[in-house]
Structure 1
Amino acid sequence: MAPEQARGHDADKRADIWAFGAVVYEMLTGQQLFAGPTVSDSLAAVLTREPDLGRVPAEFRKLVRLCLIKDAKQRLRDIGDARIVLADGAAAPPAAPAARSRIPWILAGACAVAALVSGFFLWRATRPVLHPLMRFSVDLGPDAIRGPHLTAAISPDGTRLVFPVRTGNGSSLLATRLLDQPKPDILSGTEGAIDPFFSPDGQWIGFFADQYMKKISVHGGAALTLSPAPAAPRGGAWSEDGYIIANLDNNHLERVPEAGGKPEPLPAKPEQHGERTWRWPQILPGGSVLFTGALGAGVGGGYEEGNIEVLSLRTGKLTVVQHGGYFGRYLPSGHLVFVHQGTLFAVPFSLADLKTRGTPVPVLYDVSAAVGQGAGQLDFSSAPDGPGTFAYLSGQAVGGAVPLSWIDAAGKTQTLVITTTAATTPRISPDGRLVALTTGGNIVVYDPKRDARTPLTFDGLRNIGPVWTPDGKHLIYASKAARMSSGGSAPMDPDSRKSCSPQRKP
């Protein structure tokens, strides 16, 4: 936290410069800046103690010092100037032989910002100390559109992007764009595709469309069907061993051969660990899988209070590595990044013992995300021994607080209730006193007069579309659950209709 924030004053982008400097200091020295036994001690240190820059490599000392000036008026004003400061530092003769740099991709990202379509940014850096950071701008073209969960994926070598575009007839397809080429190439056969991801060699693109998981060559050709994905899939990750780990049914992670075939269950399931959904996987070095686990949107704290977890594919052991956040990603720099409250956080992370080191630090305040699905609009290239590229869609998190409004006959609008996730299919009771709606996969009845919400389902298993009976005493709705939650226990089909009775006080 910058000194002006600690004093309760208004903060601007210069507070972000301060946070950047603090993160860079910790990454270069391995020590947390202004650490204290309590939050109060840390804040006092921020206000009174000058940082000891003696352990910072000489070529980065000027940059860190300019970022950590307590007077915001004297602080580095724009992060783009960091590149110039680094260039000056690199030109100076080092005091000792240069060691291999531990500069992580977070530093790369904060220093190299370039606008793409709709605020899409690319960050690029090189790991050796004396290599300059590269700043560049790429135009994805006027037809590029925002994806519902993930907009763009970047190839493992950092040379190619894949993203959705709108065609002349109104349909959407995937397009690929080499970063050193002026125009994208449209991939025919990818109509309606969402959430693309690359194969480890960068030659294939996996995606979801028409209730199937498919793949297509980056050079085009026929799209090949790999597996059914019947119920709102949530992400895939392609492993080196020829399998894809994917969420195909909105809840579970399964393994599918890259050539296609029957999905195989992983050695554990979310319901075995008190959760409803595991989604947005990433294959880690060593064969484990990192993902977001949660009860679901609108249940408890939703994905904002979700877990970043690691599952061993060999033993089935589950490890929670971070509570509070979603869309975790491990970076080759040895850091875990995740999204929380519209902010990208980073924390050092050890693959050896699956533990974080220190306190997560905010590094980006404008990362777009789909809160209701636990998705972050970001991706990175993994090249650990060469240039690395981090890409993200700037903007605000969407799918958070959503107002439900009442419009009277005169057109006057009154906000009735604000839900933490999207509220859909509102239905007014026959007597006009109650409103039934779907939010977070559950049915909720709202009483405007009492400003009271009564949940009728609690499992978040896609309970949708409530309809009042004519007497207003029951609701009928669709659900994926296999049995009735009230008033009986007869077996039901996955998309059957269910009945329940809302309790109502006079």
Structure 2
Amino acid sequence: MAVTLPAGIKVTRGPGHYSPSVALSPDGRTLVIAGTGPEGQRLYQRPLDRLQITPIAGTEGASSPFFSPDGTWLGFFADGRIRRMPAAGGAAVDVAKIEEFLTGASWGPDDQIVFTYGINAPLSVVRAAGGDARPLISRNEGEPGHSHPEILPDGRTVLFQSGARIHALDIRSGRRAELVTGTAPHYTDGQLIYARGSVLLAVPFDPGSFKVTGPGVPLVEGVAHEADVSHYAISRSGVLAYLPGATAQSLALVNGGGSERSLLDELQTFENPRFSPDGARLAVAAGRRLGEPTDIWIHDLRTGAGSRLTFDGGRAPVWTPDGASITFSKLDNLRGIYTRRVDGRGDAEQVVALNTFHWLVGWTPDTRTLVYGLIESANGNETRSSIMALTGGRSRRIVGPGSVWGGRLSPDGRLLAYYTLESGLFQVYLTTFPNAGGRWLISEDRGRDPSWGRDDTQLYYRSGDRLMAARIDTTAGVRVISRRLVLTPFSPPLYDDYHVHPDGQTLAVVRPREESDREVAVVLDWLDGISRGSRR
């Protein structure tokens, strides 16, 4: 069966929403969906024995729904807080404030909520009644952040994701084991359910021995999957709900008149497109197949030819000012920032080794300073990130530490645009560079992912599902003269997945190739699809 949201409402997904947008009550009788429409986002519920779907009062701005084990409480994320409310309706109360986006939450039988947030944070826990959150475990050196926790019915075993692998943790003893390669774990009826790309699989799992037995059995294909989020939910009674959708993406050029053409159609995934300084080429992190690590590719806009620059991983490309080289990030066992010539001569050279999550901002016009961002610490309910400047082999902090993200240098290198979550909403700010001598709010209502136009008088940014442009006067400090709508709907799948051409008229945009944005599929008795011989 399919559950359809009201006209004009789409399932909430994409940047800022890094946990599933659907939840099922433990008895499988009620489906909750996070939806976004003209008036913002909120939660909707549909009893599966009825036809009507209705908005849930008191959930304005909410996403990431989850239930208590007995189904009497509904948890969600809104306004920078984990909140809970009676599932039958009533007032919502705060459980915990967190500094970044939620990447998963699970309510245990002992009324503790295990949750994850941000990019580099460990598993954290807070009492459902509210109070101070604390880290449940520490991350190992160089380990990716934790996400998508699932507390098992025994109350002591937690499944979670770290990178592209699923782990199990015994809360009481601290015992930990890696189980399978995959994302977004769930557990029911002796089965570990997980995703690989857009496919859900099941494998028998014994919490006592911390072992899986047998190979993964495919259950469902075509589940919407993005940024390690698989939009599905399961109930202990044997109901599966998921958002259908392909994960393949396209890279498109969009001009001021609205016409567009696709690039590099032979590739399946794209991230962080960047035009060369002269606008003749486009660099992008891309993958040939779904679920594979990205490499850096270059598309020549004059000839239409595409070429691969790296062969052992690469992400977040930025050009050197002379257009002769590309600097990029690696997050594998050789973590750090590297540079390689675009003509392919020579090997990539490491610029700086970094053992934590990081991203590229860009080079100053004189190529003396590389600006980048990184997460400095993540504990309890707080992530502290900064934007750094690397000059002559030494790094210094420009902005932060705090909830600081993104970053774009103006074409003349005098201004730095970035965004923060310190107010509970993402907002875009400008500061002077290199000394951060002031700070000016650019976005209105909300904003993220800034990108400069042809000079320092035009700054583009995302605001919800809209692309906005702020006209800026910098003759005396910084003043926003006007803001205008450039494009809507505008919903690239990840952060910084668009770039403005140096001419200020053309955009490079990453988009899903297919998307089912209003319907959620519901499958009853889906465990019958697993052979009885593989079940425990």
TM-score by length of 1: 0.59
Match of 1:11 in 2: none
Q: Any residues of structure 2 matched to 1:285-304 within 5 Å, and which?
A: 285-294=153-162, 296=163, 303=164
1:255-314 Cα offsets, whole Å, 9 max, x none, are 111111101332x32226x523221111113223333343x4xxxxxx2xx2x1111111
* Partner SS state of residue 195, structure 2: strand
* Alpha-carbon spacing, 1:155–1:457, altered in 2? closer, same or farther (3 Å): farther
2:5 equivalent to 1:147: no
Partners of 2:397 and 2:284 in 1: how far apart? 37
- Which amino acid is 1:183 matched to? Q
- Which amino acid is 2:102 matched to? P
Is the 2:359–2:374 Cα contact (8 Å) retained in structure 1?
yes
2:222 equivalent to 1:366: yes
Match of 1:45 in 2: none
Match of 2:342 in 1: 448
- Which amino acid is 1:494 matched to? P
Q: Any unmatched runs of 5+ in structure 1?
A: 1-113, 117-137, 297-302, 500-506
Q: Any residues of structure 2 matched to 1:274-285 within 5 Å, and which?
A: 275-285=143-153
* Alpha-carbon spacing, 1:317–1:438, altered in 2? closer, same or farther (3 Å): same
- Which amino acid is 1:316 matched to? G
Deviation at 1:443, TM superposition (A): 5.2
Deviation at 1:368, TM superposition (A): 1.9
Structure 1 residue aligned with 2:245, among 381, 388, 395?
Answer: 395
Match of 1:329 in 2: 186
Q: Any residues of structure 2 matched to 1:199-238 within 5 Å, and which?
A: 199-238=68-107
Partners of 1:315 and 1:238 in 2: how far apart? 20
2:374 equivalent to 1:479: yes
Structure 1 residue aligned with 2:320, among 429, 442, 445?
Answer: 429
Q: RCO (CA 8 Å, sep 6+): is it higher in 1 or 2? A: 2
- Which amino acid is 1:363 matched to? L
* Alpha-carbon spacing, 1:145–1:320, altered in 2? closer, same or farther (3 Å): same
Q: Any unmatched runs of 5+ in structure 2?
A: 250-267, 288-292, 297-314, 378-385, 408-432, 435-536
* Alpha-carbon spacing, 1:408–1:233, altered in 2? closer, same or farther (3 Å): closer
Partners of 1:243 and 1:236 in 2: how far apart? 10
Match of 1:470 in 2: 365
1:217-257 Cα offsets, whole Å, 9 max, x none, are 33333321111211232100001111101113442111111
Deviation at 1:472, TM superposition (A): 0.7
- Which amino acid is 1:380 matched to? I
Match of 1:347 in 2: 203
1:440-480 Cα offsets, whole Å, 9 max, x none, are 69755454322876665665744235132231132122322
* Alpha-carbon spacing, 1:422–1:434, altered in 2? closer, same or farther (3 Å): closer
The structure that is helix-richer by fraction is 1
Deviation at 1:187, TM superposition (A): 2.4
Deviation at 1:396, TM superposition (A): 2.3
* Partner SS state of residue 376, structure 2: coil
1:349-400 Cα offsets, whole Å, 9 max, x none, are 2233121112222232222222x2x2221111113xxxx2111222223687
* Alpha-carbon spacing, 1:230–1:407, altered in 2? closer, same or farther (3 Å): closer
Match of 1:377 in 2: 231
Partners of 1:163 and 1:379 in 2: how far apart? 10
Partners of 2:88 and 2:336 in 1: how far apart? 43
* Alpha-carbon spacing, 1:465–1:403, altered in 2? closer, same or farther (3 Å): closer
Partners of 2:396 and 2:273 in 1: how far apart? 37
1:12-67 Cα offsets, whole Å, 9 max, x none, are xxxxxxxxxxxxxxxxxxxxxxxxxxxxxxxxxxxxxxxxxxxxxxxxxxxxxxxx
* Alpha-carbon spacing, 1:461–1:205, altered in 2? closer, same or farther (3 Å): farther
Partners of 2:243 and 2:358 in 1: how far apart? 31
Partners of 2:389 and 2:280 in 1: how far apart? 38
Is the 1:309–1:319 Cα contact (8 Å) retained in structure 2?
yes
Is the 1:193–1:207 Cα contact (8 Å) retained in structure 2?
yes
* Alpha-carbon spacing, 1:357–1:316, altered in 2? closer, same or farther (3 Å): same
Deviation at 1:209, TM superposition (A): 2.2
Partners of 2:325 and 2:175 in 1: how far apart? 46
Match of 1:261 in 2: 131
**Count of residue pairs brought into register by the alignment:** 343
Partners of 2:128 and 2:157 in 1: how far apart? 17
RMSD over aligned Cα atoms: 3.6
Match of 2:56 in 1: 187
Deviation at 1:425, TM superposition (A): 7.2
Partners of 1:444 and 1:192 in 2: how far apart? 39
- Which amino acid is 2:231 matched to? Q
* Partner SS state of residue 140, structure 2: helix
Partners of 1:252 and 1:335 in 2: how far apart? 25
- Which amino acid is 1:160 matched to? T
Is the 1:437–1:444 Cα contact (8 Å) retained in structure 2?
yes
Match of 1:315 in 2: 173
Partners of 2:316 and 2:178 in 1: how far apart? 35
Larger radius of gyration: 1
* Alpha-carbon spacing, 1:283–1:456, altered in 2? closer, same or farther (3 Å): farther
* Partner SS state of residue 262, structure 1: coil
Is the 1:176–1:218 Cα contact (8 Å) retained in structure 2?
no
Deviation at 1:153, TM superposition (A): 0.6
Is the 2:26–2:69 Cα contact (8 Å) retained in structure 1?
yes
* Partner SS state of residue 481, structure 1: strand
Identity score, percent: 28
Partners of 2:66 and 2:159 in 1: how far apart? 15
* Alpha-carbon spacing, 1:409–1:391, altered in 2? closer, same or farther (3 Å): same
TM-score by length of 2: 0.56
- Which amino acid is 1:287 matched to? G
- Which amino acid is 1:141 matched to? P
Structure 1 residue aligned with 2:112, among 217, 220, 243?
Answer: 243
Is the 1:369–1:398 Cα contact (8 Å) retained in structure 2?
no
